[in-house]
Amino acid sequence: MRDVAIIGVGLTKFGELWDKSFRQLIAEAGSKAILDSGIGGKEIDAMYIGSMSSGRFIGQEHVGALVADASGFSHRHIPATRVEGACASGGLAVREGFLSIASGMNDIVVVGGIEKMNDVAGATATETLIMAADQEWEAFFGVTFPGLYAMIAMKHMRDYGTTKEQLAQVAVKNHANGALNPYAQYQREITLEQAINAAPVAYPLGLLDCSPVTDGAASIVLCAADKAKKYTDKPVKILGSGQASDTLALHARRDICTLDSTVYAAKMAYKQANMTPKDVDLAEVHDCFTIAEICAIEDLGFVKKGEGGGAIEKKITTLDGSLPVNTSGGLKSKGHPVGATGVAQMVEITQQLRGEAGKRQVKNANIGLAHNVGGSGATCVIHILEAV
Ligand code: COA
């Protein structure tokens, strides 16, 4: 297998973007990444695009070809493939691009992720998102994603004594980070009292325990590592890539508080990178709900099972803690345009490892991890990156 590096990144602002179309968003993110990388359009061998449900959100399928067209590459007939794995669509697109270069098939690949979720009413967005859960066992009975993660939170509270206050502390931390990110949907801090007392959504989760409904796009340019220095003096190498699956329905898991897809994808990525969780300097984890961040830091091996809530309380994961988590603001505050999220996580880690994260820069960041989950954990994809 060949080594692969990230040589360019690009992001649109995340939020309710009424004034921009789907194709404008992906073209903006893609052109920023291409400009950042210094490659010429003629050098692109392939494109992979993560998008979860463009058919339901904007009435448009066939997104691979659309993105190549909107980016001005249709006349070059570049292979462009859409990748779907619910909220992990973006991370899976990164992995497909990575594998295509590692295999020797391609030298330079552009990966994009996009979702435009606000063109439909809130209830339609909720209905669309829950299609990523099990239709027969879950969605048919009316459960929503906040409902599924609320069940995980209830069991975590019962089994490990995790408190509503600890959940709220995840939101407070991620909003504090998002306040430093000019691309975030919510660039404002919140207090612990606001988070605890926010309007209930699905007990114990309130409004401020949830990621929002977001429009946005992200892009990265991948290159065979031995050719990367031609384009940039700051390549970021992908040391490990792991992916795993689990049951679609939550009730069929051995333990609903453990995302085994995370455990197995992490094992694969750590092994490939020849690393342990202790080697990681910072992580972007899939905090679609506050409880998801607590489960993630446990399942990734940063803390023992059941100690995630305590770790948040001890402020281990704040910007100046020993393991900063979700420095971008995470899905909670930066926003969660589902198909774009996994790519946006790679953008944040790359910027941190290059020392270009501005006010939210982590000191001495050399190794970063991106963790992207589909649904309630039926898919997980993890990448470990290193500043070269
Ligand atoms: N965090 C912080 N503020 C939020 C927010 C969130 N998650 N969601 C909405 N808001 C704010 C809005 O900006 C708005 O503020 P304003 O009145 O100052 O403009 C206000 O709350 C009401 O917004 P609205 O869009 O009417 O909220 P809603 O009740 O329709 O939706 C949720 C709130 C939590 C139900 C919705 O954000 C949601 O479904 N989130 C989960 C998304 C999801 O499941 N993703 C997939 C994960 S696997």
List the CATH number of the domain containing 313.
3.40.47.10
Residue 230 has pLDDT above 90, yes or no: yes
Reported as a single tens digit per residue, the pLDDT across 2-38 is 999 999 999 999 999 999 999 999 999 999 999 999 9
Instruction: Identify whether 306 is part of a domain.
Output: yes
- Give the residue whose CA is nearest to atom 5 of ligand 1: 212
Q: Which domain holds residue 224?
A: 4-121+214-228
C-alpha 122 – ligand 1 centre gap (Å): 9
Residue 74 has pLDDT above 90, yes or no: no
DSSP 311-377: HHHTTTTSTTSSS-B-TT-HHHHH---HHHHHHHHHHHHHHHHHT--GGGPPTT--EEEEEEEETTT
Instruction: Work out the pLDDT band at 207, boundaries 50, 70, 90.
Output: very high
Substitution site in 170, 210, 288, 371 for ligand 1 pocket (most atoms within 8 Å of beta carbon): 210
Count of domains forming the chain: 2
Q: Please indicate, yes or no, whether residues 40 and 152 belong to a single structural domain of this protein.
A: no
Q: Please indicate, yes or no, whether residues 283 and 365 belong to a single structural domain of this protein.
A: yes
Instruction: Identify whether 249 is part of a domain.
Output: yes
Q: For residue 248, count CB atoms less than 10 angstroms from its CB and return exposed for 0-12, middle for 13-18, buried for 19 or more.
A: buried
Distance CA 103, CA 106 (A): 8
Cβ 215 vs Cβ 20: under 8 Å? yes
Residue finishing a domain among 228, 253, 282:
228
Q: Please indicate, yes or no, whether residues 251 and 305 belong to a single structural domain of this protein.
A: yes
Atom of ligand 1 nearest to the CA of 288: 47
Distance CA 284, CA 183 (A): 15
Task: Give residue ranges with CB within 6 A of ligand 1.
Answer: 87, 122, 126, 129, 145-146, 186, 201, 207-208, 210-213, 288, 336
C-alpha 329 – ligand 1 centre gap (Å): 16
Contacts of 170 (CB under 8 A, 6+ apart): 209, 287, 290, 293, 294, 312, 332
Instruction: Identify whether 304 is part of a domain.
Output: yes
Q: Please indicate, yes or no, whether residues 40 and 94 belong to a single structural domain of this protein.
A: yes
Reported as a single tens digit per residue, the pLDDT across 148-199 is 999 999 999 999 999 999 999 999 999 999 999 999 999 999 999 999 999 9
Residue 312 has pLDDT above 90, yes or no: yes
Q: Please indicate, yes or no, whether residues 368 and 257 belong to a single structural domain of this protein.
A: yes
Backbone torsions φ then ψ of 178, nearest 5 degrees:
-60, -30
Q: Please indicate, yes or no, whether residues 67 and 165 belong to a single structural domain of this protein.
A: no
Q: Please indicate, yes or no, whether residues 66 and 195 belong to a single structural domain of this protein.
A: no
Distance CA 332, CA 172 (A): 10
Distance CA 385, CA 368 (A): 5
- Give the residue whose CA is nearest to atom 12 of ligand 1: 212
Q: Please indicate, yes or no, whether residues 79 and 203 belong to a single structural domain of this protein.
A: no
C-alpha 148 – ligand 1 centre gap (Å): 17
Instruction: Identify whether 233 is part of a domain.
Output: no
Q: Please indicate, yes or no, whether residues 84 and 141 belong to a single structural domain of this protein.
A: no
- Give the residue whose CA is nearest to atom 4 of ligand 1: 212
- Give the residue whose CA is nearest to atom 20 of ligand 1: 207
Instruction: Work out the pLDDT band at 126, boundaries 50, 70, 90.
Output: very high
Instruction: Identify whether 314 is part of a domain.
Output: yes
Q: Please indicate, yes or no, whether residues 104 and 194 belong to a single structural domain of this protein.
A: no
Give residue 112's pLDDT: 98
Cβ 342 vs Cβ 90: under 8 Å? yes
Instruction: Identify whether 106 is part of a domain.
Output: yes
Instruction: Identify whether 234 is part of a domain.
Output: no
Q: Which residues carry out catalysis?
A: 87, 336
Cβ 84 vs Cβ 54: under 8 Å? no
Q: Please indicate, yes or no, whether residues 10 and 150 belong to a single structural domain of this protein.
A: no
Instruction: Work out the pLDDT band at 136, boundaries 50, 70, 90.
Output: very high
C-alpha 44 – ligand 1 centre gap (Å): 38
Among 87, 90, 93, which residue's Cα sits nearest to residue 131?
Answer: 87
% the chain with pLDDT above 70? 100
Q: Please indicate, yes or no, whether residues 295 and 198 belong to a single structural domain of this protein.
A: yes
